[in-house]
Structure 1
Amino acid sequence: MSNQPDQIVPDSEHKGIMGLLPAVARPYALLARLDRPIGWWLLFWPCAWGVALAGGAIARWDLLLWLLLGSIAMRGAGCVYNDIVDRDLDRQVERTRSRPLASGALSVKAAWIWLVILCLIGLLVWSQINGTAKLVALGSLALVAAYPFMKRITWWPQAWLGMVFSWGALVGWLAIDPQFHWAMTLLYLGSIFWVIGYDTIYALQDREDDALVGIRSSALRLGENVRFGVLFCYLVALVSWATAFWTLRPQWLGVIALVPVALHLLWQVTTLKSGDGQDALAKFRSNRFAGFLMFLACLVLGQAG
């Protein structure tokens, strides 16, 4: 791996940059998925939504930067932990067999040390939020620890991932307003279904290999009904978000603000080619933009009051 950039994980977004890293550093960067920023963007956006919908995006722009740093570090830590647990399975899947642990480019001991370093960065970010948000943030640890095992016991590991990747919506809101509000809960619920939808699209890449090695996923469970399943998840997400906006501020402004993200999600579903792994990957990555559109909607409503 240290000599040829083309040995880097196939779905890397930045093979050239990874190829320029020193050989000793490259496996660590790949293990934390630093070559694929889509993951930390998808973890960050629900955090930003919570901050924005609670009305704090402008006044607490510094908090958004802290949460972005935390998303990068903790997404990396989650990937390291996931690869430690899944290293034997990863060796059996074409897309993942070149990952640092599965390929032997990095030892398990080194991976654990790297995991601790990333968690310390996350701890620094955790120290920047208020007490209520800190307690809620800690509540996600059990979900994170259990996630790698979900694909072995349920056909819907994407639902568990939805709870994990959406947790930031609660933390972001409570970091601005430590009081419970139904809008916060509905924002979180909608985010869960958004994650289920886009991760089902992502899982389309591995359906054949997953079926062979016994990994379960919503993409396998839905079979030929993947497009309908993703559409259903996105509709539930949009209805949840619209209800959250209406609960917070009963004005049509909120519903109108959701139109751009609704159109983008509809585009994903209507143009999805379920048998084309490259198209599935492109549609999955486009959710970085969907998250930004949702952030703008939350910003509009959060600042309207």
Structure 2
Amino acid sequence: MTALHPPDSQHRGLVALLPAGVRPYALLARFDRPIGIWLQYWPCAFGIALAGGAVGHWPLFLWLMLGVIAMRSAGCVYNDIVDRDLDARVARTASRPVASGAVPVRNAVLWMILLSLLGLFVLIQLPWRAQIVALASLAPVAAYPFMKRITWWPQAWLGLVFSWGALVAWVAAGGPEGMALPLLYAGCIAWVIGYDTIYALQDVEDDALIGVKSSARAMGRHVRGGVGLCYGLALALWGGALWTVRPDPLVFVALIPAALHFTGQVVTLDPANGADALAKFRSNRFAGLLVFAAMLVVGSAS
């Protein structure tokens, strides 16, 4: 392993304090990498805030965070079970617990079921319409690990999955009908494609050797422009969602901090440096906070 390609599973933070027998299961659920939780949670928070539910439906912020932790972790376990042969052939992922043999497949399946039961507990706390929307995500979630084998744009499918929380949150918070939700959801999808393309830059060489497809490989030397286009599209769609909720030119001002952050990511991105790509990817946790602030201001003022 080199500094440019840090291993995907690392014994650090609170995970390092766990008993040795438990640690592989924490790594399998990516408890050592909470960035994925934040990136999947932000669309949920966007939906609550823009729907005007930040005050009246504030418990949703907590329930959906717990649900994201459970289902993101279960999804990571499922992904590692499906991808165990591919992961073993990529430097960054070879140390993942299932690929390395630290966790038997049978135990991984049981761990996934346990995490899913926690997700079920959260599900029954939601209004029934939101439950139906949440359950509809299971099919695209199950299909995601196979996308990198059949399309150059698995990041687009990830966008559908990771942005689903916006739909659940909007319905749970009683958001109105109209174009605001489709625009919000589409903006989240474009954002996910952008940041996950950056993430995929870490594996371009290994992916080419084993035949795995990705948007980073598809964009090639145009990756900066491609990511910039995704971020620009996300901002335009989010701006449309804000305008739909409150037709006032000032709503676009709320997105300026996020726009500056995305611009900084694109301008300073070094596609050949895996460590830089990982840092830029992780910075989207803060980008999500900036977008959430815009949704909160506009949604609360409507």
Tell me the TM-score normalized by structure 2: 0.96
* CA deviation after TM superposition for structure 1 residue 187, in Å: 0.2
CA distance in 2, matches of 1:241, 1:19: 39
From 291, 296, 299, the counterpart of 1:294: 291
Which of 123, 137, 149 aligns to 2:120? It is: 123
Is 1:304 aligned with 2:281? no
* Residue 253 (structure 1) shift: 2.6
Greater shift in the superposed pair: 173-182 or 265-274: 173-182
Residue in 1 aligned with 2:268? 271
Using the alignment, how far apart are the partners of 2:133 and 2:101 within structure 1? 37
Distance 2:74 2:97 in 1: 14
Contact 2:191 2:230 in 1 (8 A): yes
Q: Deviation digits for residues 189-229 of structure 1, max 9, x if unmatched? A: 00000000000000000000000011100001111000000
The question of 1:48 aligning with 2:53 is answered: no
Q: What letter is aligned with 2:295?
A: C
Provide the C-alpha distance between the structure 2 equivalents of 1:106 and 1:193, rounded to a whole number of angstroms.
Answer: 35
In structure 1, the residue matched to 2:105 is 108
Shift of 1:129: 1.2
**2:14 aligns with one of 12, 17, 42:** 17
1:150: how far off?
0.1
Report the counterpart of residue 56 of structure 2 in structure 1. 59
3-state DSSP of counterpart to 1:258: helix
What pairs with 1:58-207 in structure 2 (closer than 5 Å)? 58-177=55-174, 179-207=176-204
Q: What is the letter of the counterpart of residue 55 of structure 2?
A: I
Whole-angstrom distance in 1 between the partners of 2:81 and 2:223: 30
Structure 2: give runs of 5+ residues left out of the alignment. 1-5
Alpha carbons 1:33, 1:76 under 8 Å: kept = yes
Q: Secondary structure at the match of 1:34?
A: coil
Match for residue 32 of structure 2? Answer: 35
Q: CA RMSD in A?
A: 1.2
Unaligned runs of 5+ in 1: 1-8
Alignment of 1:242 with 2:230, yes or no, is no
CA distance in 2, matches of 1:250, 1:53: 13
Asked whether the 8 Å contact 2:201–2:272 carries over to 1, the reply is yes
Give, in whole Å, the separation in 2 of the partners of 1:298 and 1:16.
32
Q: Is the 8 A contact 1:132 1:178 kept in 2?
A: no
Deviation of 1:12 after TM superposition, in Å, equals 5.2
Contact 2:9-2:93 within 8 A present in 1 as well: no
Go from structure 1 to structure 2 and tell me whether the alpha carbon gap of 1:199 and 1:235 turns closer, same or farther (over 3 Å shift): same
TM-score by length of 1: 0.95
CA contact 2:46–2:295 (8 Å) conserved in 1: yes
Conserved? CA contact 2:7–2:91, under 8 Å: no
AA matched with 1:301: V
Give, in angstroms, the shift of residue 16 of structure 1.
Answer: 4.0
Count of matched residue pairs? 297
Shift of residue 127 of structure 1? 1.0
Amino acid at match of 1:274: P
